Structure 1
Amino acid sequence: MNPKKTIIWLGILIVVLSLIATIGPLLIMDKGEFYGFMTLRGEEVLIFGEGLYKFDSVFAASGFKGQDFVTLFLGIPLLSIALFYYKKGSLKAGLLLLGVISFFLYVYASMSLGAAYNGLFMVYVLLFSASLFFLIVLFVNTGLEILPAEILKALPRTFPAYYLFLCGVVTLVVWSVPLVSSAMQGAPPDLLDHYTTMVTDALDLAIITPSTFLAGWLILKRNPLGYQMAFSLIGIIVFLLPIIALSTYIQFVNGISYSTGEVIGPISGFLVLGLLGIGVLWSILRKLPKEIFS
C-alpha cells in the first residue's frame, strides 16, 4: 500500500479507537468512593474506587481524567485536521502530525503499561500499536529530507536546538532526582502508590531525554532528521501544557495537595516549556513551503 494511504488509514483507526478510549470513561460510571489500600510495601494508598479507573490511585485517576479530556477535545480534532491537510500534500501538516501522533503514542504506551487493568485495556494496546507504526511510516515519509538545501539552511537552528537541550536537562532533573533520592533512602518513590514500577519515569528517562539531546545536536548540524525528531518531541511537550493544568486542577479538587516547591518546579517548569515549545514550532513552520509532495 502507498505509504501516504497507510498513514491516512492508520490515522482514521486511531481517531475511532481514541474516541472509544476517551468517551468510555464517561459512560462507565459505576458509583463508588475513595478507599484506603495497603500496598505490599506497607504503605496506605488512596484508591479512586469509581468508574473505569476504580482500581487506580486518586492521584493517577485524576491525571487520566485530565488526559482523556485533552485527548478528546484537543488531540483528536488536531489529528483529524492534520490528516486532512496531509492528504492534500501539506508538508507542514505532515510535521504537525509527527507531534500529534507522538503524543498519542506516549499516552497509550503509558496507559497500556502503567494504568491499572480495566475494560479498555485492549483498546489501549491497539492505540499503542497503531500510533507506533503510524509514527514509523510517517517519519520516513514527511518530505523534509527532500527539501532544497537553501530552505534547510534558512531554518532556525539555535533556538530549537538549545530549547531541546533545556527540555532534556529539565526532564532528566525532574525525574531522576526523586528516584535517586528514594534509592539512597531505601524507600519507594513518593508517586509509586500501589503500582509496580514508574512507567512514566522510565519512558521519559530512557527515550525522551536522550532523544532531546540527539535532536538538538542534529539540528545544529542542519540534519533534517533533527527537525523531524523535534516535532515529535515538542508535540508531546506542548500537549503536556493543558494536561498538566487540567490534571492538577482535578487532583486538587480530589484532595491532592502540592508543596510550593512542586508547583514552582515540575508543574510550572513543564508549563513554561510547553509555551516555549509552541514558539519553537512556529519559528520552524513559518520558514517552510506549504506543499512538498502530491
Structure 2
Amino acid sequence: MRTRLRRLPGLVAALAATAAATGLARRPTGEPVSVTTPRGQTAELAGSGLYAHDTVFTAAGNTAVDAVVLAFGVPLVITSWLQHRAGSPRGSLLLTGTFGYLLYVYANYALGAAYNPLFLAYVTLVATALAGFLTGLATTDRAALRALAADPGVPHRALSRFLLTAAAVTAVVWLQPLLTALRTGGTPELLDVYTTPVTSALDLAVVAPAAALAGLLVRRGDPRGHLLAVPLLVLIVLLLPTIALSTVLQAAAGISFTVPQVVGPIAGFGVLGAIGARLLTRLLRAVPAVPTPGPVPPSEVPDEHVHV
C-alpha cells in the first residue's frame, strides 16, 4: 500500500490519550446520588468526577474503558502508525483495526454517555477515527490480503467459525434483555436514567452483522473477510481486559451481578477475547511486516500520498 496516513493517527492518539487520562484522573470519589428516572424508577448516579451524571455502573465501566484505551489502544495506534509509515502491510492492517476499536469506543461515549465537558472531544474522535478506518479499508494492500486469504498456514476455518460464533453470542447477549423487556412491558436491565441502550444498538446493528459477514467471506476464501476480521478481532481482544476491569470496579462500587450476567456478557465475551487474541496473532503474523518489493505504478507515486 503506497497511500500513507501521516498526521491523522497522531491526532487520534493524542485526543484518545487526553480523554482517557482525564477520565482516570477525574474518577468518582464521593457518595452516589439517588435520582428518579423519567420512568419513575430509582437509579444511583456517580455524583462526582467526569462521569458524575452517569450511573455508578456506567461510570465504573467507563473508567475501565479509559484504562484500556490508555494502556493498549493508544500504544497500538502509535506502534501500528509507525509501521504503516514505513510501508508495512501488517502495520497498516493493524492500524485500520485499531481505528475501528476507537471508533466503537467513542461512538458509545458520544451517543450514550451522559453529557460531560469532553463531549466535543468524543465527537472529534468519532470523526477522525471513522476517517482513518475508512481510509484504511480502502487502501489496504490488496496483494497482501489475497496472499493472506490463500495462505494454508492461516486457520481460515477456525477464524470463520469464531467470527460466526462471536456474531451469535453478541446477538444472544444483547437480545435477551431487550426481548425480556418487550415480553414484560418493562425496560431493559441497567437502562436506568438513559433513554436508549446505545451499546446494544451498535452491537446488534453493526458489530454482529459485520462479524457474520466476515465469517462467511472468510469461509469462501474472500480476502475482504480477512480485512473485516482484523478490526473485529482487535475489538473482541480488547474487550477481555475491559470486561475484567469493569467487573472489578463495578463490584467495588457496590454493583452485584446475577448468574446470567456473569455467564453471559462477562464469561462469554471473556472466552471470545482469549480465543480472539490467538487468532489475531496468527492472522497478523501471516501478513508481511516489511513493504513488498516491486515497481511503483504511475498512479501511486509519492506525490499522490494522502497527507491527513
Q: Shorter-chain TM-score: which interval? A: over 0.9
Deviations 1:162-206 (A, max 9, x none): 100000000010001110111110001111010000100000000
Partner of 1:14: 12
Normalised by the size of structure 1, how large is the TM-score? 0.94
2:228 alignment counterpart: 229
8 Å contact kept, 1:32–1:49: yes
CA distance in 1, matches of 2:172, 2:260: 14
Instruction: State which of 97, 100, 108 in structure 1 corresponds to 2:98.
Output: 100
Task: Give the letter aligned to residue 158 of structure 2.
Answer: F
In structure 1, the residue corresponding to 2:90 is in which secondary structure?
helix
Deviation of residue 77 (structure 1)? 1.0
Q: Secondary structure at the match of 2:54?
A: coil
Which position in structure 2 is the counterpart of 1:288?
Answer: 287
Aligned partner of residue 34 in structure 2, secondary structure: strand
CA-CA distance at 1:74 after TM superposition: 1.4
| Pairwise CA distance, 1:9 | 1.0
Unmatched tracts of structure 1, length 5 or more: none
Do the aligned residues in 2 keep the contact of 1:3 with 1:137 (CA within 8 Å)?
no
**Cα drift, residue 149 of structure 1:** 5.3
64, 86, 95: which one aligns with 1:66: 64
Deviation at 1:30, TM superposition (A): 8.2
- 5 Å-filtered alignment, 1:209-228, equals 209-228=208-227
- CA distance in structure 2 between the partners assigned to 1:107 and 1:40 by the alignment: 26
The residue aligned with 2:143 is: 146
- Tell me the distance in 1 between the aligned counterparts of 2:149 and 2:291: 13
Change (3 A) 1:148 1:279: closer
| Partner of residue 111, structure 1 | 109
Give CA deviations for 1:41-64 in whole Å, capped at 9, x if unaligned: 110001100111000000000000
Q: Residues of 2 paired with 1:284 and 1:231: CA distance?
A: 8
Shift of 1:245: 0.4
Distance in 2 between the 1:134 and 1:231 partners?
Answer: 14
Is the 8 Å Cα contact of residues 149 and 226 (structure 2) preserved in structure 1?
no
- Give the conservation status (yes or no) of the 8 Å contact 1:17–1:123: yes
Asked if the contact 2:145–2:226 (Cα under 8 Å) also holds between the matched residues in 1, the reply is no
Q: Does 1:257 align with 2:256?
A: yes
Change (3 A) 1:30 1:216: closer
* Structure 2 equivalent of residue 81 of structure 1: 79
Match of 1:174 in 2: 173
Counterpart residue identity of residue 61, structure 1? A
**Aligned mates of 1:234, 1:176 — CA distance in 2:** 21
Q: In the TM superposition, what is the alpha-carbon distance from 1:8 to its structure 2 partner?
A: 2.9
Shift of 1:35: 1.2
Which amino acid counterpart does residue 251 of structure 2 have in structure 1?
A: F
User: 2:303 maps to what in 1?
Assistant: none
Q: Distance in 1 between matches of 2:145 and 2:56?
A: 52
Tell me which amino acid in the other structure corresponds to 1:153: A
The one-letter amino acid of 1:288's match is: V
What's the secondary structure of 1:289's corresponding residue? Answer: coil
Distance in 2 of aligned mates of 1:31 and 1:248: 18
- The whole-number CA distance in structure 1 between the counterparts of 2:47 and 2:217 is 47
Q: After superposition, give the CA deviation of every residue in 1:11-58 in whole Å (9 maximum; x if it has no partner).
A: 001011112201222444686420111011110001100111000000
**CA RMSD of superposed structures (Å):** 1.7
Q: Aligned-pair distance for 1:234? A: 1.0
Query: What SS does structure 1 have at the residue aligned with 2:50?
Result: helix
| SS of alignment partner, residue 23 of structure 2 | helix
Gaps of 5+ in 2: 294-308
Contact 1:98 1:235 in 2 (8 A): no
Counterparts in 2 of 1:67 and 1:112: CA distance versus 1, 3 Å: same
Number of matched pairs: 290
2:282 and 2:223 map into 1 onto residues whose CA distance is 15
TM-score, normalisation: structure 2:
0.90
Matched position secondary structure for 2:44 = strand
Question: Paired residue for 2:298?
Answer: none
Opposite residue 258 of structure 2, the aligned amino acid is S
For 2:52 and 2:33, the matched residues in 1 are separated by 10
Q: Is the 8 A contact 2:33 2:46 kept in 1?
A: yes
Match of 1:122 among 120, 145, 165: 120
Instruction: Provide the rounded CA distance (Å) in 1 between the counterparts of 2:284 and 2:37.
Output: 49
Q: How does 1:156-167 map to 2 (within 5 A)?
A: 156-167=155-166
User: Which secondary structure does the structure 1 equivalent of 2:130 belong to?
Assistant: helix
Q: 1:16 & 1:25 partners in 2: Cα distance? A: 14
Q: Is structure 2 residue 199 aligned with structure 1 residue 200?
A: yes
